[in-house]
């Protein structure tokens, strides 16, 4: 039986409209991670476990999936704290401990540095039980206004409205 994470009561859940199919955070993607994010103590957090169909070697979570979890966390960290859309420019990872399928993990994201209005450096940390650091990531993210992301054609206008409460004009 999967244990439920103990989310601190002073943490605030990030709203999710429930209709998008993002592999990381989309609640309607049947093959996705369905990540939920919480803000507190100057960071963004998520608790989850990697399902069996995303294994690497038998009992281990695939390293690419762990990278995706960190990328998603760092992207939402930039969006939440900097109030802009964020797209990954580069990311480095340090794998330190293996993560098993079904094992409860905690992911944390923090903005390390905002580099003007267009770029940010963000850190992601992935822990397993006992606060054991398993993977550390640092990413550089390009930041975009709603108008700029619309011009890029990354998200349709109806979906863009779902981010109005998060993104500064």
Query: For 122-164, how does the pLDDT look when each residue is reduced to its tens digit (9 = 90+)?
Result: 999 999 999 999 999 999 999 999 889 888 988 888 777 777 7
**Statement: residue 1 has pLDDT above 50:** no
Mean pLDDT of the chain: 90
Ordered DSSP codes for the chain: -PPPP---TT-EEPP--S----TTT-TT-TTS-----EEETTEEEEEE---GGGBSSTTBBPHHHHHHHHHHHHHHHHHHHH-SEEEEEEEEEEE-S--BTT--EEEEEEEEEEETTTEEEEEEEEEETTTEEEEEEEEEEEEE-HHHHHHHTSS-HHHHHTTTTTS--
Residue 4's pLDDT band (boundaries 50, 70, 90)? confident
**Statement: residue 106 has pLDDT above 80:** yes
Write down the pLDDT at residue 105.
96
Under a CB-based contact definition with an 8 Å cutoff, are residues 109 and 166 in contact?
no
Write down the pLDDT at residue 133.
98
Give the domain ranges of the chain: 12-161
- Which of 46-55, 59-68, 119-128, 131-140 is least confident? 46-55
Under a CB-based contact definition with an 8 Å cutoff, are residues 85 and 145 in contact?
yes
Neighbours of 53 (CB within 10 A): 9
Write down the pLDDT at residue 3.
66
Ordered DSSP codes for 141-160: EEEE-HHHHHHHTSS-HHHH
- Which of 13-27, 30-44, 85-99, 131-145 is least confident? 13-27
Phi and psi of 147, rounded to 5°? Answer: -65, -45
Neighbours of 69 (CB within 10 A): 25
CATH topology of domain 12-161: Thiol Ester Dehydrase; Chain A (3.10.129)
**Statement: residue 51 has pLDDT above 90:** no
pTM for this structure? Answer: 0.92
Residue 65's pLDDT band (boundaries 50, 70, 90)? very high
- Which of 1-10, 36-45, 61-70, 141-150 is least confident? 1-10
Q: In 3D, which of 72, 91, 93 has the Cα closest to residue 14?
A: 72
């Amino acid at each position: 039986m999967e244990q439920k994470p103990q989310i601190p009561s002073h943490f605030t859940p990030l709203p999710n409209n429930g209709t998008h199919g993002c592999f990381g955070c989309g609640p309607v993607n049947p093959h996705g991670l369905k990540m939920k994010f919480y803000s507190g103590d100057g960071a963004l957090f998520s608790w989850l476990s990697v399902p069996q169909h995303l294994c690497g070697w038998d009992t281990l979570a695939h390293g690419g999936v762990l990278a995706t979890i960190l990328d998603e966390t760092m992207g939402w960290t930039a969006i939440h704290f900097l109030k802009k859309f964020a797209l990954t420019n580069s990311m480095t990872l340090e794998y330190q401990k293996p993560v098993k399928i079904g094992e409860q993990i905690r992911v944390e994201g923090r903005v390390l540095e905002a580099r003007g209005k267009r770029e940010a450096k963000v850190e992601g940390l992935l822990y397993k039980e006992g606060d054991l650091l398993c993977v550390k990531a640092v990413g550089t993210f390009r930041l975009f206004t709603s108008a700029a992301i619309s011009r890029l054609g990354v998200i349709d206008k109806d979906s863009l409205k779902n981010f109005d409460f998060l993104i500064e004009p």
